[in-house]
Structure 1
Amino acid sequence: MRLHFVGAAQEVTGSCYLIETEGLRFLVDCGMHQGGREAQGRNLARWPMDPRTLDFVLLTHAHIDHSGLLPRLCAHGFKGPIYATRATADLLSVMLLDSAFIQESDWARQQRRRGHGRRTPRADNELLYTVAQAQACLAQVQGVDYDTALPAHKDVRVHFRDAGHILGSAILELELRDGGRQRKLVFSGDLGQPGRPIVRNPVAIEQADVLLVESTYGDRLHRPLEETVDELCAVIDDTLSRRQGNVIVPAFALGRTQELLVLLAQLRQSGRLPPMQVFVDSPMADKVTAITARHRDELDADGQAFWGTGRHLPPGLQVRFTQSVEESMALNRIKAGAIVIAASGMCDAGRIRHHLRHNLGRPECAIVIVGFQAEGTLGRRLVNGERRVRLLGEEHRVRASVHTIGGLSAHADRDALLGWLRGFKKPPRQTYVVHGEAATALGFAERVKAELGWRVRAPLVGEVVEL
């Protein structure tokens, strides 16, 4: 029985793990690499196995760094089922089609530039996948209920447990039989921070032979939610009321946008925020929000209350979802009083780039970062305090204030990760720390070893271990 770390080992994106036994081969996650010049080349690289030989794929959740290469996998010959929670299955119909549209648009833009004699990266000669290929892939997705045993194969039984990260996110408990041996593997997926708005807390797991645990924020603590809310209120009030500018929020269309809407409604209802015009400039976010409402039974009390009343908004809060490109462009004519929430969350694609282009150079405006920013992304450069950034082929000075509101992260911080690990009744035989930048993953592995006394390490991409 072998475990192959295909991606997200001493790195954050590209989550993918290959499990092989006698007569069985399957993947857990099939994510896209994001951030940095090497990402597209890695997405286009050859698979470490023949996709036609895979029996099935298990998916922890719908974020593109966990699901984004599924259409390419299917286009290269994978014909088996893709198992995910029912909410994740619904979300994939939005996420993968949007990703494919971006792939086609970016590829076409590169071809036009090449036609005008401009040099472009060699990797961009190949289109990652098309909208048609993404649509074909969706036919292989099968929705599964939480906490119900899935016989994925005669030698594999799987339970999907709530990971508390985003709608539909799951911890995977796998019972594998290989000859006369049986092993229990647990994949944490991305774990959420307990007590956050909308989603439920991660489910505790008590036993595993082999555990893979994420470590995105394994080297730091999030600010307490109360302090985070205080900071968010201060930034919005100062920007809208005193400085007379706009607040620009790069936010993932899935998860963060819906949490922000609930939080803004609560803060306006309590009188902590001034009257606001909120523009959600993302057709995908609009679709995701509708899916969230359909699956409100999987949310916490705050989420169920908000969507159970038909997304009722308090007086003084206007929320508008923009659809067309023309509506999006019109927002750039608003010079003050607007909160614009747009994707992508790391500022490297989508409509957020245009809003940053029109507001980064204005000292009266604020850029509010509410999620993890991977190395190599524009969002990371803003968080790091760079005063000049390249955006849409042009250099821009950063005069707007940049605020990192870390307490709204969808990922568990160091202490929350350790708290989840302490829920195991006994140490797994082997624990692998994954889904964290190299220094973070290595440091968290050492902390787990020191505090819990577990056998643990952080593997490298491409490493293969015998279980």
Structure 2
Amino acid sequence: MADPLLCFHGAAGSVTGSCFLLEHAGTRTLIDCGMFQGSKTEKELNYRPFPFEASSIHSIILTHAHIDHSGLLPKLVKAGFQGPIYCTAATSDLCTIMLQDSGHIQEMEVEQLNRRNKSRFRQMIEPIYTAADAQAAMTQFRSIRYKEWHETEGGLRFRFWDAGHLLGSVSVELELVSNDGTIRMLFSGDIGPQHKLFEAVPEAPKDFDYLICESTYGDRERDDQSPEARRSQLRQIVSQAYHPNGALLIPSFAVERTQELLADLNTLMDANELQRIPIIIDSPLASRATSVFKRHARSLSNGDLLLRALNAKNVRFTETAEQSKAIDLIHGFHIIIAASGMCEAGRIRHRLKNWLWHDEATILLVGFQAAGTLGRILQDGAHAVKIQGEQIAVRATMRSLDAYSGHADATELENWILARLPIRKGLFLVHGEPAATGQLSRRISGHRRVPIVLEPKLDSAYRLTKDGAVVSAATTSPPRLRAEDVGHFDWHNDYQSLVLDLDEELRQAADETRRAIILRRVRKALQHAGD
């Protein structure tokens, strides 16, 4: 029997696209099958063939429902995967709505893109998958309870531990028998912070051969994140954003983040720390996700706060396009919470087109913004952006509030890892941009009981031998992307930035002569670009 092989086909060198392939005893198991987000270069991977045959996968273990962990499951099923998808019941419930919503968005955006492509004589494209494909994939989901062992083909067995990140999220404890005895592994999934409104503190056992751990916030520390401190920060931002003719826009993940914000805003209003401000949840997905949260309210910490907020008279959800468009007619200060959290799709882009150029507006970012996303570009202080081909000036006030992040910060990650000791043969750090992963690696490497810290690259592979992890020939050779093209801004971002900068230079030029000089210099630079 060959030593097990672990391949990193996503969330390696970047935050999204979680997908780890474990080959053992003639079987192939995937842990997660997520969609890539971030730069256009990374997102294009979603359209490419998988780096393995879909039909060769025997089973999938899903850590949670977020699209960067589950988003390519319908594509995998469509490509020939026929095995079971193991997850918690709550994750299955959330995926029922999230994957169909993802398919619907792809159909809609591809239709819009193809209209533009047709007018430009460009090639038509197909959606990665449709809502119908997503619905078909749900028939392969199998619900597993926390802490109960389950065995798959090849003698691999696993059980789930609460990761404290999202309703139904798990860390996966896994055991398999090799030539040298039993190998114990733990896949962290995404680890929640200590003060998540609806989630318990993350838990998992200790004593493993290998730990595969996320590192999203490996280079960040947060201040006091108690519920009181979080609500105090939110109250201050809302109060400062108030303008009689303005709006507070909150791009937010539709699942859990929106519900947390809604509960905290209503708690502040119940306590008269904020006046009763109209709150519009402009997201059909958030509406459907909230129904799932209501069904699971008894299993949530502080579930009563959410139920109370849902009954507040100042809160309303939009379902139809007509209801969403009617928001533009609202007079007076109001709060709009809309997906997506990184501003990459969904109704938030329409809201941003309407409000970014208004001084009276405030945009509040409440989650991680991956490199190359519109949310990250705004967070980094862009003076203008392009949305659906239209250039929009940024005059709104930009604010960020990290207190609602679903990820543990650097100290919390370090403590969580050390609580898993001993780690006998290796710690793999994944699901982080290079700076975050590198800084967490340096912190952990100082602890003597962690033998080796590894930072795998996209499509890298390791043999899990009796002496530790050994780099193996990748199943995808060469890798689908170079390491420097993962987890960074790409040339598409640079191009958009250049176009906006050139437009600004031309607009501020003193006269026609100065504009002609600028354009002449640009043309000259282009002529010598290949020299």
Do the structures match in fold with TM over 0.5?
Answer: yes
Residue 128 of structure 2 is matched in structure 1 by: 128
Aligned equivalents of 2:180, 2:188: Cα separation in 1? 26
Using the aligned pairs only, state the percent identity.
39
Equivalent residues of 1:243, 1:365 under 8 A apart: no
Which among 453, 457, 462 is matched to residue 460 of structure 1?
457
Partner of residue 378 from structure 1, selected from 374, 380, 399? 374
Q: In 2, are the aligned partners of 1:211 and 1:428 still within 8 Å (CA)? A: no
Report if the CA contact (8 A) 2:214-2:429 is conserved: yes
How far did 1:46 drift? Answer: 2.2
Task: Quote the residue 1:230 is aligned against.
Answer: 232
2:431 matched to 1:429? Answer: no
Per-residue Cα deviation, 1:242-281 (whole angstroms, up to 9, x for no partner): 5641100000001100111111121112221121110001
Aligned pairs (5 A) from 1:304-319? 305-307=304-306, 311-313=310-312, 318-319=314-315
SS in 1 for 2:457: coil
Q: Which residue of 1 aligns with 2:487?
A: none
1:220 — aligned with what?
Answer: 220
1:441 aligns with 2:442: no
Tell me the secondary structure at the aligned position of residue 271 of structure 1: coil
Mapped to 2, the partners of 1:335 and 1:49 lie a distance apart of 53
Deviation, 1:412, is 0.4
Superposed displacement of residue 419, structure 1: 1.3
Q: Could you tell me whether the CA contact under 8 Å between 2:27 and 2:154 is conserved in 1?
A: no
Q: Is the alpha carbon distance of 1:309 and 1:333 closer, same or farther for their aligned partners in structure 2, counting shifts above 3 Å?
A: closer
Give the match's secondary structure for 2:233: helix
Aligned to 1:262: 263
By how many angstroms is 1:208 displaced? 1.4
Please give the secondary structure, in 1, of the residue aligned with 2:314: strand
Match of 2:67 in 1: 64
CA distance in 1, matches of 2:70, 2:445: 31
Structure 2 residue matching 1:177: 3-state secondary structure: strand
Cross-structure match for 2:392: 396
Corresponding residue of 2:76? 73
Give a deviation string over 1:268-321, Cα, whole Å, max 9, x none: 122211211100011111111110111123311x22x225669443xxx61101
CA contact (8 A) 1:442 1:457 kept: no
Preserved contact between residue 83 and residue 141 of structure 1 (Cα < 8 Å) = yes
Shift of 1:110: 1.9
* Structure 1 contact 184–209 (Cα < 8 Å) conserved: yes
Provide the residue aligned with 2:206 in structure 1. 206
Residue 98 of structure 2 corresponds to residue 99 of structure 1: no
Counterpart position of 2:147: 147
**What TM-score does the superposition give when structure 1 sets the normalisation length?**
0.94
In the alignment, is the contact (CA less than 8 A) between 1:57 and 1:81 conserved in 2?
yes
Q: Could you say which residue in structure 2 is the equivalent of 1:272?
A: 273
1:310/1:363 CA distance change after superposition, 3 Å? closer
Partner of 1:297: 298
In structure 1, runs of 5+ residues without a counterpart are none
Give 1:42 shift: 0.7
Say which SS state the counterpart of residue 276 (structure 1) adopts.
Answer: coil
Superposition map of 1:178-217 within 5 A = 178-179=178-179, 181-217=181-217
- Normalising by structure 2, report the TM-score: 0.83
CA contact (8 A) 2:262 2:309 kept: no
2:233 and 2:190 map into 1 onto residues whose CA distance is 26
Q: Is the 8 A contact 1:22 1:179 kept in 2?
A: no
Could you tell me how far 1:102 is from its partner in structure 2?
1.0
Shift of 1:153: 2.9
Q: Distance in 2 between matches of 1:198 and 1:360?
A: 31
RMSD: 1.7
Q: Distance in 2 between matches of 1:345 and 1:198?
A: 18
